[in-house]
Amino acid sequence: MARSLRWLRRVRACHRLLWLTLLMITGCTPTARPEARPTPNLDPISAERREVVFSADDGVTLAGELTLPRHPNRPPLVVVIHHAGPVDRDAYGYLAELLVDRGYAVFRFDKRGTGASGGVYGCCEAEDALAAYRAAVAQPGIDPQRVFIVAQSIGTRYVAASFPEYVAAMPPCGVALLSNLLGPVDIIAIAAPIHVIVADSEPDRQRIGPDAVAAHNAHWSYGASLYIAEGAEHTLFDIRDGPIDWSNPNWVQRYHRGAMASLLNWLDEMNRSQCRT
C-alpha cells in the first residue's frame, strides 16, 4: 500500500511538472502581431525585380530584392534598414512603390526567419542589416556614388552603432532617419548628411528631433534637417482618422503623406547636389 501511494505521488508530481512546463512555454511565447502584408504593385513601374541571396556573418542565408526603375540608367540606390519586429521586405512595399516611381532603385530584405530568409527571428538584427547593405551596394546596375540609407526606428540605432562599417562597404550620400531613436550624443556617429523624420506624438520628440538635429549640425558641416509629422504614430502612419488596424491590408494606404513627401524631396535634393563628385 505504501509503495502504491509513493507511486501515485510520483505520477501526480510528474503531471504537475508537465503542466507547469507547458504553462511556461505558452506564457512566455510572444503572440504574433496580426499584420497583413500587402504585396506591392511594383511590376508596372520597375524594369527589374532582382532576387538577391546573401550570407549573414554566421552563415545563415538571407534574401532580399533589388527593384530597379524603368527609365534611369544606373539609378541612385536606397537601402531600407527595417524597424523592429519579424517583418519581411513587403513591410516596406509602400515605400518601394513611392521610391521606384521617383526613379530610385530600392533594396529591401527579409529579416532572419521571415520571408525567404533562413534562420530563426530574434538574433543578430544589427549584423544582418549591415550584411544586407553590403549585398545591396555590391549589385550591378546602380550608381555607387548615389547610395542612400533609409533607416527606421531601431534601424537608426543599428546604422549609428556601425556607421564606419557602412562607410567601408560604400559611403552613403545621405542617411534618412525615420522614427528616429537617436539623441544628441548618438546621432553624431553618422558622419553624413541626415534628414530626421519623427511623429508629433513621440513623448521624447524634443530630444530625438530638434535637439538631435541641432547637435549634428553643431558637430558636422554635412547638413541635418528635420520634419515633424503631425497626426502620426511612431512608424509614421496617419492616425488623424483613428488608430491603425494592422490586420486590415488597407493600413498601407495610411502612410503619412507629409512625411513621405519630405523624404522624397530631401532625397531628390541630395541626389541633385550633395552626391555629385
* Spatial CB neighbours of 33, under 8 Å, sequence gap ≥ 6: 85, 246
Q: Nearest-CA neighbor of 198 among 230, 240, 167?
A: 230
Any residues with CB less than 8 A from the CB of 262 and at least 6 apart, and which?
A: 195, 197, 227, 229
- Distinct helix (H) and strand (E) counts, the chain: 8, 8
**Average pLDDT value for residue range 261-269:** 98
- The tens digit of pLDDT for each residue in 50-60 reads 999 999 999 99
pLDDT surpasses 60 at 24:
no
What single DSSP character describes residue 210?
I
pLDDT of residue 29: 31
Q: How confident is the model at residue 276 (pLDDT cuts 50, 70, 90)?
A: low
Taking residues 2-18, what's their average pLDDT?
Answer: 41
pLDDT at 248: 87
Kindly report, residue by residue over 167-176, the tens digit of the pLDDT. 999 999 999 9
Question: Please, which pLDDT band fits residue 7 given cuts at 50, 70 and 90?
Answer: very low
What is residue 232's DSSP assignment? B
Q: Which residue has the cell 524594369?
A: 47
Of the candidates 55, 50, 49, the residue with the CA atom closest to the CA atom of residue 135: 55
* pTM of structure: 0.85
**DSSP designation for 119:** S
**Structure confidence at residue 229 (pLDDT):** 98
Burial class (CB in 10 A: 0-12, 13-18, 19+), 201: middle
- Average of pLDDT values for 263-276? 90
Q: Would the pLDDT of 94 be above 60?
A: yes
Strand-pair category, 174-178 with 147-152: parallel
Q: What is the CATH number of domain 40-272?
A: 3.40.50.1820
Across residues 88-115, what is the average pLDDT? 95
| pLDDT confidence of residue 34 | 37
Which of 142, 90, 136 minimizes the C-alpha distance to 116? 90
